[in-house]
Structure 1
């Protein structure tokens, strides 16, 4: 991707809209829409790295209620010609083709590689990557199993969506205590994952969400691991101007 003069590439992750309730989520949605309005002025492209929603499931004829302002703003920006790329997270991993068909936004279920200018990027949500987290990795296999999705689809949406939203908040999947503490490079499993990826191929930036804690860590020669933070407590986002990458906070 070529970055035009005075244009930038933007990255954001982990908005978890809908949690813990629609009413409490609404001010965060308004803030995110304001951010989209700001960055569309000079965006070459926008990357959303997962968990935009605290829960999302696409039935064949039904999508979850709500999020009209966010979806409308994404549609407006995409219709203006600005590319948007969406990576599913562990909370919206049951996303299918709604974004692609309705908004013309491609959806990715795993990491993707990009070259912007002369810099190489590895981009993804980050869930289930690296050592540890074995319980979630087993759970993800169950959630993504075609039989599991088929069974869930037969629940009435009023029951299925309500149950999923309850379990998401009840189990503190949105943000646990570990998400507000830096564990040290040796214990940050996405840092370890980034270092292992660099053993086989070089990237200038390895950018992920999921961890909820904004950080930039040098992981190799001219290589940095980036976690974008979240839109729950930090309201952070990434911006690449063709030469350097920064984490910023939306005020």
Structure 2
């Protein structure tokens, strides 16, 4: 996935990068290393890096930062912001408990659930994507509960080990429930997407969450869906990548296998 120096010099200036659903975890060493390589070889060249949720498999609270693995992730992200790249963090459905302590440690700005910016001539609205899966009513009820400040404050008062046990139980339960749900229910709702375009006057929408990488043409504009990352399975099934915007306004998908394209061919889908 590493570009040659000649290729880098031939490209227009790299303005912004977008990635999501990396699902970092100590049990996924190859995925972790591929993400670190992305930070070292790509993010250092960009003016901005937007991480749009689920960077971690789960996050139990900022008091879990001291593990050796999390310290390694923090050091790699901090090197990006130290290099002058603006680092922006958006919560996903797995790491919404990331707080100011973590953001300060990596030199990032925490974004809300929806963020709009003008980048290289595009009016871009970004979101993780789970809030637009409105057909999954059970998940939407759960999401509304755990995103409440009061619920989070009470949860974070529990011992860290207890929180992790609860989260693991929720993840197992979620996987069981997903077997009973149709693919359509777990995808974004078309009307919710349309409303995002209209409410934020966007011509481009970028999100992750669904693990269905693609470029969609809507009447209101273009929608880019970011891929999830999985590099610890067979090489031929490896998936992942990022979206790049250059100073000339060009928007390009970069696959982990080194391919580039203006649209993603959907890969093997896994539940979000």
Range of TM-score over shorter length: 0.7 to 0.9
Q: What residue ranges of structure 2 are gaps of 5+ in the alignment?
A: 1-11, 231-237, 258-272
Contact 2:60-2:97 within 8 A present in 1 as well: yes
Runs of 4+ in 1 over 6 A off after TM superposition: 177-181
Question: Does the CA-based 8 Å contact 1:213-1:229 persist in structure 2?
Answer: yes
RMSD: 2.9
Distance 1:239 1:136, change over 3 A: same
What is the distance in 2 between the residues matched to 1:47 and 1:227?
A: 14
SS in 2 for 1:14: coil
Who is 1:210 aligned against? 209
| Cα separation, partners in 2 of 1:195 and 1:26, compared to 1, 3 Å | same
Change (3 A) 1:179 1:113: farther
Aligned counterpart, 1:236: 241
Residues 246, 178 of structure 1: CA spacing in aligned structure 2 closer, same or farther, 3 A cutoff?
farther
- Confirm whether residue 10 of structure 1 aligns to residue 17 of structure 2: yes
What is residue 142 of structure 2 aligned with on the other side? 139
Aligned residues of 1:125 and 1:208 also touching (Cα < 8 A): yes
* Bigger helix fraction: 2
* C-alpha spacing 1:10/1:179, structure 2 compared with 1 (3 Å): farther
Partners of 1:17 and 1:67 within 8 A in 2: no
2:255 alignment partner in structure 1? 249
Corresponding residue of 2:111? 108
Query: How many residues matched?
Result: 238
Q: 2:49 aligns with which of 46, 50, 54?
A: 46
Structure 2 counterparts to residues 1-251 of structure 1, below 5 A:
6-18=13-25, 22-23=26-27, 25-58=28-61, 61-63=63-65, 65=67, 66-129=69-132, 131-172=134-175, 188-200=187-199, 202-220=201-219, 223-232=221-230, 233-242=238-247, 243-251=249-257
Following the alignment from structure 2 to structure 1, what is the Cα–Cα distance between the partners of residues 181 and 215? 15
1:180-235 Cα offsets, whole Å, 9 max, x none, are: 96x5xx995254422233345542210001111111010125x2011001112521
In 1, Cα distance between the equivalents of 2:130 and 2:186?
A: 15
Gaps of 5+ in 1: none
Calculate the TM-score normalised by the size of structure 2: 0.77
